[in-house]
Amino acid sequence: MYLELARRNLQRAKVRSLLAIIGILIGVMAISAIGIFGESLKATVLESFEDVANELIVGPNYYAGYRYIDEKDVYQIEKLPYVESAIPVKSDTLLVESKKLKAYLQIYGLTEKDAEELFDAEKGIIRLKGSCVVGKNLAETWDIKVNSKITINSREFRVAGILEDTGARFDINPSTALIVSQDDFDKISDEGYTMVIVKADRLDHVDNVKKAIEERLNSREDKVYVFELSIILERINEAFSQINIFLMAIASISLLVAGVSILNIMLMSTIERTKEIGVMRAIGAYRTTILKIFLLEAAILGIIGSSIGSVLSLVGGYAIDYIILQNVKYVFQPGILFYLLLGFSVGLTTAVISGLYPAWRASRLEPIEALRFE
C-alpha cells in the first residue's frame, strides 16, 4: 500500500519524475555501456595474444657468461613433462640487400617444420631450402614479392613466402621477421641458439614448466632465464581493468548529477506535501512511516531509471563496440552481466541516497507545524 501511495505521488508530478528517471537512466547507461566497451576492448586485445599465452621463452643468461643455449639443453627441455614443443631459434643481425635497399636486419634460423608451426604464409609457401620467408611489413617496405631475390651476408636467397600478420608475438614478430633454415643460417652466421620457444600443453601448466626448466638447467648455475608470456597477458588484463574502472568512474559523474536532481526534486516534493505529511502524522503515521514513503519514491525512480538504463546500455555498448572496435561479438557475453548489474545497483543506490535527506527532513517535521503549512 505504501508502494501504491509512493507510485501515485510520483505520478502526480509526471514531468518531474520523468526528468529524474532520465537523469538516472543516462548515468546508468554511461557506466554500463563504458563497462561493456572496456570489457570488449580487453577481450579483443587478449584474443590477439591468445596463441602465445601458453608460451615460455628460454634465453641464455648473459649475465653469467652464457651466450647460447646448448643443443643438449634444448633436448632436455623437450623431454620435460607438460612441454608440447620446444623450438630452438638462432638469430643474428646481418646485412640484407635487395635491388634498391640495404640494411642490417635480425635474421632467424628455424627448421622448416618449426617455421610452419609458428607461422602461416599469406603468399607463397613456407619453404626453407636455400630460400627464405619474410614478414608482411618488411615485404611491403622493401617491395619484396614471392620469388624476389635478396642477399643476406652476400649469399643469395629466393623469397618463398610472405608471412601472414597473425598479431603480436613476443618471440619473433611475424610482420618484420626474416627467416632462413638453420642449415643456411650456419652458412651466413656463427651464432648458436639464442632462444628456445617452449609451448606448455595447457595454460595452467606454464608455471610447472617454468619451474621444471629452471630446476633442470639452473641446478648448478643460472644458465638460462625463463620468461612466461602469460605474465604479459596478466599485465594487459590488469591495465585494462584499471582503465575500465577509471572510465566508469568518470561516467559516474553523470550519476552524481542525476543524484543531485533527485535530491532537488524530492526536496521540492517534501515542501509541497508538508501539509499532507502533517495530516498523515495527525492520523497515526510514525516518523518512520513518512521516511519509508519518501524513500520508496526515490527507490522507484531509481529502479525504473536503472532498469531502462541497463537495457539501453546494451544498445550503447553495442554502438560503441560497432563504431570503435568494428566488432560486436563481445557485447552479448556473460561477463557483461556484471557491468549491467553494477550500473543498475549504482543507479539505484544513488537514487536512494539522494532520497535519504529529503525523506529524513520530511519525517522530522513536527505534525503541528506541518499542518499549519499552506
Indicate which single residue of 286, 322, 332, 338 sits in contact with another protein (rule: CB under 8 A): 286
Distance between CA atoms of residues 337 and 342, nearest Å: 8
- Residue placing its CB nearer to another protein in the complex, 65 or 284: 284
* Contact partners, residue 99, CB within 8 Å, separation at least 6: none
- Residue placing its CB nearer to another protein in the complex, 312 or 371: 371
Q: DSSP string spanning 319-346? A: HHIIIIIS--TTTSSTTHHHHHHHHHHH
Min dist CB 368 to another protein, Å, is: 4
Pick the closest to residue 268 from 363, 367, 358, 364 (CA basis).
358
End-to-end CA distance of the chain: 27
**282 near another protein, rule: CB under 8 A:** yes
- Name the E strands within 20-175: 55-60, 83-97, 102-110, 121-124, 131-134, 149-152, 155-163
**3 near another protein, rule: CB under 8 A:** no
**Region from 35-43, 171-179, 241-249, 285-293 binding another protein, contact rule CB under 8 A:** 285-293
**Region from 9-17, 33-41, 305-313, 330-338 binding another protein, contact rule CB under 8 A:** 9-17
**Region from 101-109, 278-286, 312-320, 352-360 binding another protein, contact rule CB under 8 A:** 278-286
**13 near another protein, rule: CB under 8 A:** no
Pick the closest to residue 140 from 109, 172, 101 (CA basis).
101
- Residue placing its CB nearer to another protein in the complex, 13 or 311: 13
Q: DSSP string spanning 217-238? A: HSSSS--EEEEEHHHHHHHHHH
* Contact partners, residue 287, CB within 8 Å, separation at least 6: 281, 363, 364
**338 near another protein, rule: CB under 8 A:** no
- Residue placing its CB nearer to another protein in the complex, 107 or 370: 370
**Region from 211-219, 254-262, 271-279, 328-336 binding another protein, contact rule CB under 8 A:** 271-279
**287 near another protein, rule: CB under 8 A:** yes
Min dist CB 30 to another protein, Å, is: 33
Report helix, strand and coil shares of the chain as percent, to nearest 5: 60, 20, 20
**284 near another protein, rule: CB under 8 A:** yes
- Residue placing its CB nearer to another protein in the complex, 5 or 319: 5
**How many alpha carbons fall within 13 Å on the CB side of residue 87?**
24
Distance between CA atoms of residues 325 and 273, nearest Å: 51
CB 258 within 8 A of CB 23: yes
**145 near another protein, rule: CB under 8 A:** no
Q: DSSP string spanning 250-274? A: HHHHHHHHHHHHHHHHHHHHHHHTH
Distance between CA atoms of residues 161 and 143, nearest Å: 13
Interface mask (CB under 8 A) for another protein, residues 154-193, using x and -?
----------------------------------------
**Region from 112-120, 123-131, 255-263, 281-289 binding another protein, contact rule CB under 8 A:** 281-289
Number of residues binding to another protein, judged by CB under 8 A: 22
Min dist CB 292 to another protein, Å, is: 11
- Three-state secondary-structure class, residue 145: coil
Min dist CB 269 to another protein, Å, is: 12
* Contact partners, residue 1, CB within 8 Å, separation at least 6: none
**67 near another protein, rule: CB under 8 A:** no
Min dist CB 367 to another protein, Å, is: 5
- Residue placing its CB nearer to another protein in the complex, 11 or 219: 11
Residues that bind another protein (CB under 8 A): 1-2, 5, 8-9, 11-12, 275-276, 279-287, 289, 367-368, 371
